Amino acid sequence: MDTGTHLVIGFGLAGLSMVDPVVASNPSVMTAVFIGTVLGSQAPDFDTLLRFKNNAVYIRNHRGISHSLPFVALWTLLITGILALIFRGVPVLHLGMWVLIAVAFHVFTDLFNTYGTQAFRPFNQKWISWNIIHIFDPFIFTAHLVAIFLWAVHAAEPTLIFPVLYGLIALYYVWRTLAHYLVEKKLPIQDPSHKAGDKYMAIPTYSLTAWNVVKQGEDGLYTLGDLRKGNLRWIDQVKCDIHPAAEASKSHKDIQAFLYFSGHACAQVIEKPWGYEVRWSDVRYRHRKQYPFVAVLLMDHSYKPLDSYIGWLSDDRLQKRLRVDSY
C-alpha cells in the first residue's frame, strides 16, 4: 500500500488496541502503543532511505528484506525496545503484541499489490504480488478516515468502531480476492484471440469494476488491455527484442537490479549512430500509452556503457535526462 494508507492503518490499529484492557486502562501504555502501531505500520518502508544511495539499490531492495519474516521480528523488537526504554514500566508483552500486529499487517497488505514483496525470505527469494488490491485503495483509505473521525468526535467507543472497521476490511479482502480469481478465470473465455499457452494477469485499478490485463504468449509477445464492466479490450502489444545488445546489457548493475525485481520485463533495442539504446520496461505498468517503469542503458557499438537510468520517467523526461541525441 502507499505511505498514506499505511499511516491511517497505524492510527486504526491504535484505535483497535483499545479492546485490550491493559492498554485502555493506562494512559502511559496507551500512548506507547499508539506510537508503536504508527511506527510499526511504517517501519518496513524505512528502506525508502535507500533512494539516497541510488535508484538501482532502492529498486532491488525496496519491499525486499525489510518486508521479510526475520525483519518483521526485528522491527517489532527494535520499536518495542526503544519504547520500553522511554516508557518505563510499560507491559512489554502487550506493547510488543500491538507493534507486531502493525508490522505484520503492513507486510500482509503489501502482498496484495502488484509491486509485491519478498515476504517469505529467507525461505523463498521470489517476489510475491497477488494483484488483488491497488496500491492506493479508496475504500480502505476512506474507511479508515471515517473510523478515525468518528473516534475523534466521540461518536462511538473505539471498542465498537474499530472491530467493525476491521471486520469490514476483512470481508472486503475476501471479496476482492474472489473477484480477482473469477476475473482471471474468465479471461481466456472472453478473449477471442486466445491460444493454448497464453497466460493472463488481471491487475487492479482505482475502480472496483475495472482491471488492467496483461496477456503473455508462448512466443514472448505481451498483449495489454483492460476489462471494464466485463468488457475485454486489447489496446497494445509489446514484442521483446532478441539482440546481442539486450544480452550484453544484463551485465550492467542497473539492468540486473531491474530484472531482479521485475518478472515481466521486456527489452527494446534502438540502434543509434553512436551505438544502442536498450530499454527494459515492466509491461505491467502501462500509463498514458507509455511504460514509465524502465531501466535504460546506452552503449556504444562495442557494448561499452555510456549512461544509464532506472526508475519512473515519461519518455520525454527520459530522453532529456539521458541526453540520448548528444553522443
Question: What DSSP line would sit under 237-289, residue for residue?
Answer: EE-----HHHHHHTTSHHHHHHHHH-SSEEEEEEEETTEEEEEEEETT--BTT
- Does 171 map to a domain? yes
What was the pLDDT predicted at 140? 97
pTM of the shown model: 0.90
At residue 310, the 3 state secondary structure works out as strand
Same structural domain, 320 and 306: yes
**254 has a pLDDT exceeding 80:** yes
Cell triple for 27: 494512559
265-272 vs 231-238, strand pairing mode = unpaired
In terms of residue numbers, what domain contains 112? 3-176
| Res. 317: pLDDT tops 80 | no
Looking at the fold, whether 229 and 261 belong to one and the same domain comes out as: no
In 62-157, alpha helices (H) = 69-86, 92-110, 138-152
Give the pLDDT of residue 43. Answer: 96
Domain boundary among 176, 208, 226: 176
The residue behind cell 492503518 is 9
The answer to whether residue 215 sits within a structural domain is yes
Average model confidence (pLDDT) across the chain: 93
Q: What is the pLDDT of residues 11-57, one digit of tens each?
A: 999 999 999 999 999 999 999 999 999 999 999 999 988 888 888 88
Do 25 and 82 share a domain, yes or no?
yes
Distance CA 194, CA 185 (A): 13
Note the pLDDT tens digit of each residue in 156-192.
999 999 999 999 999 999 999 999 999 999 999 999 9
C-alpha 295/C-alpha 269 separation (Å) is 12
**pLDDT of residue 327 exceeding 80:** no
pLDDT of residue 2: 92
